[in-house]
Amino acid sequence: MLKECLNAARASGADYLLLVSPAELSSEIRNLADQVIPDPGLGLAEAINFGMKNLPDDILYSTWIGDDDLFVDSSLQILRDKLDRNRKLSLVYGKCTYINSVGAQIGVNQTGQLATRILGFGPDLIPQPSSLFRLDDFERLHGLDSQYKNAFDFDFFLKLKKIGKLEYVPEMISYFRWHDDSLSVNQRWRAVKEASKVRRSHLKFPVKAFSILWEPTIALATFVAGKIIGTRSKLKSTSHQQSA
């Protein structure tokens, strides 16, 4: 999956690939990246922060992607062109296709600009692998908050919304692999509770005080939606195994 991920990232239009790895890699894999650095072992958010700090000074835009996810060909070029044309944008994002462990399509996240409008009081519907942001904004916001183990991207998006505009691009950008070993899947309830904590931390008083009235409903709905996607993933995998 890592080899496939790196090849897809290069085909997406990425000029520079930095790989943060917790393990020794084969020379074949290392040669697919422009730079490989060791994971500091302080959690996923800090691994991403470490990677961003080690990017060359001439890099303007950046994002991150898990080793089991994929970019669509030329997709990052599309997002980059959007940021080039409008300095007021702090984040651009597009569609994301959910696939299972064998690559079968489960569904598509195409909530569009609605994801931005509900970001502060609803679920995070912006697909992180389908996003691109300015590296100087990442540094300005002091990177990702490592107190969060699952919802650090949600917290980052909310911070970006305070300093610029978030805009949807109606193009397929990435594939997110939904499987039991994925951090977003196997720690689903913890991720949902953490997202609730992030959401409430960005609310102003007195809205924050009353958020307890609707937060449980949002958390439950988000959890159930994840379970439905997980069930679809397993059904697709079973169907694929039977046909094979």
For the chain, 244 residues long, give each residue's pLDDT as a single digit of tens.
999 999 999 999 999 999 999 989 999 999 999 999 999 999 999 999 999 999 999 999 999 999 999 999 999 999 999 999 999 999 999 999 999 888 888 889 989 999 999 898 888 999 999 999 999 999 999 999 999 999 999 999 999 999 999 999 999 999 999 866 555 545 667 888 898 899 888 887 777 766 676 677 777 666 666 555 555 544 555 454 445 5
Instruction: Judge if the upstream peptide bond of residue 40 is cis by omega within 30 degrees of 0.
Output: no
pLDDT at 209: 65
pLDDT at 233: 46
Q: Give 199's DSSP letter.
A: H
pLDDT at 15: 95
The per-type count for the chain, helices as H runs and strands as E runs, is 11, 8
Q: What is the residue whose two structure tokens read 């990052």?
A: 76
Indicate the residue type of 41: G
Give me the residues paired with residue 215 across strands.
none
**Cα–Cα distance list, 92 to 24, 181, 222, 235 (Å):** 34, 28, 23, 33
Indicate the residue type of 60: L
pLDDT in tens, 40-70: 999 999 999 999 999 999 999 999 999 999 9
Q: What is the dihedral of CA 131, 134, 139, 145, to 10 degrees?
A: -20
Residues 6+ positions from 134 with CB-CB distance below 8 Å: 60, 61, 62, 83, 90
Q: Which two tokens stand for residue 171?
A: 């193009």
Asked if 166 contacts 93 with a C-beta cutoff of 8 angstroms, the reply is yes
Q: Which two tokens stand for residue 52?
A: 């961003």
**pTM of the full structure:** 0.85
pLDDT at 201: 87
pLDDT at 20: 97
Q: What is 2-243's CATH topology?
A: Spore Coat Polysaccharide Biosynthesis Protein SpsA; Chain A (3.90.550)
